[in-house]
Structures are given as structure tokens and as C-alpha cells.
Amino acid sequence: MSELKNDRYLRALLKQPVDQTPVWMMRQAGRYLPEYRATRAQAGDFMSLCKNAELACEVTLQPLRRYPLDAAILFSDILTIPDAMGLGLYFETGEGPKFERPIQSMADVANLPIPDPEDELGYVMNAVRTIRRELKGEVPLIGFSGSPWTLATYMIEGGSSKTFGKIKKMAFSEPEILHMLLDKLADSVISYLNAQIKAGAQSLMVFDSWGGVLSPRDYKEFSLTYMQKIVDGLIREYDGRKVPVTLFTKNGGLNLESIAATGCDAVGLDWTVDIADARRRIGDKVALQGNMDPAMLHGTPERIRQEVQRILEGYGDGSGHVFNLGHGITPDVDPENAGVFINSVGELSKQYHNK
């Protein structure tokens, strides 16, 4: 078993005792950091940055040089799988990701390959291996994927959407096509995440960014069923250590009990959920990750500390909490404020442990 100098994050996910609450930030490698912007300019564009193992490693490590974070997260994108399936991913400035060939029919789904993680997605595995080597056991490395429902939304809508009209039309008029796509995506995610574990990822996270646009019944049918399939198909122990899995559905507060029942180790919370309430509902079954509003990082240092204290108080004593934002840090945040947030968690959380 490879030794970790700081395994606080993995211990908290498994609800084992820790000396303080671990903290990391979604999108911690990103545009709010000037050094990230410089590296991205060097790479040329976003996907070129993802596909260059050395540069992807560099931006993964940048926030760890600035802040006492308890985990690194692979620098990649959730759309790597649909891209490897041949849908023609490209990025429009200011508009986000788009696909040249969106999915419209059963034939489109039937023709989709399940990408080989060491071939079409080999650049991701190279990045995982490079980052894991360069971390030198300082903190664990998180691997991740988008959820089948979230990937399907981009693949069917052809990019971002406000109404999700095309995928919902398919869900309610031709559900068999959508289920076939979601099943294929679940198989692809399982092989992709298991390959990340073998390449060096020590924990996994599934991002269900758009699960919250579904009614609770439809959420279970079109999103949770497939995340359940993924949880069931993942390697859960590797290199002598458990590999914890976190499921995060944005706006998923109505569905916490169902998410916790999948057998995942942790449930990610966005900021619309009260963490004390979440702990009462599911905190005996799983660890909780979250859940400060990313916009709070625009507050004064006093206000940020106050909010960290409020969330720590809400969770209460004992392990099983990984502090994070309720969604990704936004590009317009002052890096100094991110530092206030991270340092406050370390300083203020000690009192809730070792009692």
C-alpha cells in the first residue's frame, strides 16, 4: 500500500476519526488563479491543456502550492467520454461546450462505441499517472466522471441548455432510446473510472450536474438508476486501501435518501441544503461533502469565516464531513478569499474532533 502523508480526506469519507475537517474545492485548479491562466495560454486551448499530461499535472498542483488543501483532483473535463465516442466536441468562446453530431435517434446510440480508457482516453490515464507520481504521497488524488444523465444532456442537446427540451422530449416520448444511451454511458463510466483507479486515483466522484432538473420520480428512473449501476460496477478497494465514491447531484436535496441508498460512501451537497438537516437524514449512512455557496467567496474575510463556522456547527462533532463549496469556485473569485476559506476550515474545525 502506498503511504500518504495526509489521508484526512480519505479517512473522513470512510467516517474514520480525523484531527480536523478536510477541505478541497470543486474547480480548485482553474481560472481564478493567474498561474492557471498562464498555463492555459501556454497550452493554447482548454482541451489541449487536458490532453497534455505535464500541463494537466501542473494545473492540478497549482492550488496545492498556494493552499493547505487535503486532496488534489484530476484536471480534466466531464465531456471526455462523449468526445471519445466521436461526437465532435468543440468550445465556442463564451458559450461553453458544443457537439457537432448530437444524438437524435436509436441508430445514433447503436453506433456509439464504448471508448477504451487506455486508448481513446489514454491521455486522461497519462495525466492521472503523472499527477499521482508528482504528488509524492502528499495528499490523495480524486478521479471523476460526469453522470450518465448529465453526459446525455450535452450529447442530446448538442451543448448547454436552459430548458433541457430535447432530452426531456426523448425521455417522455422515446424513453427506450434514452435508456439505451444511459446504459451505454454507465458502462463507459465504469470502465473509465476503474481505469483511473488502476492509474492512481485514490477516490472517485461522479458529477450529476443536471440531475436536479428532473422530478423526483424521473430522477430515479433516468439518473439515479445509472449512478447505482456505476457504484455497483466500481473497484472499491485497490492497492490495499478502500477507494471511496462520492455522488453529487446539483439541486439534489429532495433525493438525498435515495442517493445515500446506492451504496456510495459520500453524498455531495449543494448550498441549497442545510447540512444539519442532511446529517439527520443520511449522515449515519454516508459521509457528507459540502456545502458553502461559492458566491460567499466574494464576502469579506469575516463573513467567510462566519459561514465556515456556521456550516461546521451545523454538521457538529465527529468525522464524516469533507468541507467543500456547494459547486465549483467561479473564475471571478479573489485567490486571497479562497485562502481565507481554506485556512478557516483548518483552524475552526479542530474543536469538532478528538472529543
CA distances from 55 to 43, 337, 350 (A): 7, 25, 35
31 classed as catalytic: yes
Instruction: Confirm or deny that 327 is annotated as ligand binding.
Output: yes
- The span from the first CA to the last CA of the chain, in angstroms, equals 30
- 37 assigned ligand-binding residue: no
Supply the DSSP symbol for 191: H
The Cα 139–Cα 202 span in angstroms is 10
Residues 36, 154, 192, 226: which is the catalytic one? 154
154 noted as active-site residue = yes
Does 160 belong to an annotated binding site? Answer: no
Spatial separation of the C-alpha atoms in residues 67 and 65, rounded to whole Å: 6
- On the 0-12 / 13-18 / 19+ scale of CB atoms within 10 A, 300 is exposed
Active-site residue among 37, 40, 236, 241? 40
Residue 146 counted as an annotated binding residue: no
Nearest-angstrom CA–CA distance, 71 and 22:
8
- Is 101 annotated as a binding-site member? no
Q: From the candidates 37, 66, 77, 281, give the one annotated as an active-site residue.
A: 77
Q: Was 152 annotated as part of a binding site? A: no
DSSP codes joined into one string, 27-90: T-SSTTSHHHHHHHHHHSSHHHHHH-HHHHHHHHHHHHHHS--S-EE----TTHHHHHTTS-EE
Catalytic-role residue among 7, 8, 11, 27: 27
265 annotated ligand-binding residue: no
Q: Is 77 annotated as a binding residue?
A: yes
Identify whether 241 is a catalytic site residue: no
Scanning the structure block, which residue is given the C-alpha cell 436535496? 253
As a dihedral over the C-alpha atoms of residue 275, residue 279, residue 285, residue 291, rounded to 10 degrees, the angle is 10
To the question of whether residue 179 is assigned a binding role by annotation, the answer is no
Given the residues 31, 37, 66, 281, the one annotated as active site: 31
Peptide bond into 52 cis (omega under 30): no
280 is catalytic: no
CA–CA distance, 57 with 255 (Å, rounded to integer): 35
- Annotated active-site residue 77? The verdict is yes
Of 339, 355, 318, the C-alpha closest to 23 is: 339
Residue ranges with strand state E in 131-187: 141-146
Annotated binding site: 27-31, 77, 154, 209, 327
- Residues serving a catalytic function are 27, 31, 40, 77, 154
Annotated binding site for substrate: 27-31, 77, 154, 209, 327
